[in-house]
Structure formats: C-alpha cells, structure tokens
C-alpha cells in the first residue's frame, strides 16, 4: 500500500456531524423516533394512546356492540413514559 492510498483514506475522517445537535428536533408524537432519553411504551394501550371501550348500541333497530375507544387511563393518551418502567 502506498502513501497516496493512506492519504485518500484520511480524506473521509472529518467529522460530518458538526452542527447536528443544533438542527436536531425531537417530535414527541413520533413513537418510533430515536430520542436522547429512554422511553417505555405504555403497557396498557401498547402505544396507541387509547383502549377499547365496547358499548351496546342499537343501529337500524339491531342491537350491536360498538367500540368507541377512550383515552388510555394509564398513560393518559401520551403513549410513552420517560425512563424504563417495568410492567406491574
């Protein structure tokens, strides 16, 4: 290997991530985004933010079960918790 080949390899050693921290914006609504802090997905709703709420309804004279959904009582709709929280 010659000295010229080694110099070519060093051309790519510069840090391209300079200024990345200033441009980085976290989106709290994105469940799958990689964040700086550790997050735990809500164990009750599975990260959906709501749980099933089946109620009896009469539609066109026929009784049926309708699932409206309601805000998750554990995470209150936020879908995640900051930190590591084991399921209880």
User: Is it the case that residue 28 has pLDDT exceeding 80?
Assistant: no
Report residue 22: phi and psi, to 5°.
Answer: -70, -35
- State the pTM of this model: 0.49
User: Is it the case that residue 11 has pLDDT exceeding 70?
Assistant: no
User: Is it the case that residue 58 has pLDDT exceeding 90?
Assistant: yes
Domain positions in the chain: 3-82
DSSP H stretches of helix in the chain? 3-10, 20-23
Q: What is the mean pLDDT of residues 48-73?
A: 89
Cα–Cα separations (whole angstroms), residue 64 to 20, 58, 67, 68: 54, 6, 10, 12
Cα–Cα separations (whole angstroms), residue 87 to 13, 21, 47, 63: 44, 33, 14, 37
% of the chain residues with pLDDT over 70: 62
Residues 78, 75: Cα–Cα separation, whole Å: 6
């Amino acid at each position: 290997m010659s000295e010229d080949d080694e110099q070519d390899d060093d051309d790519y050693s510069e840090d391209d991530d300079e200024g990345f921290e200033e441009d980085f914006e976290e989106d709290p609504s994105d469940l799958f985004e990689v964040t700086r802090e550790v997050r735990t997905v809500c164990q009750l709703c599975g990260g959906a933010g709501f749980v099933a709420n089946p109620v009896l309804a009469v539609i066109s004279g026929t009784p049926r079960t309708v699932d409206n959904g309601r805000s998750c009582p554990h995470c209150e709709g936020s879908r995640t918790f900051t930190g590591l929280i084991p399921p209880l």
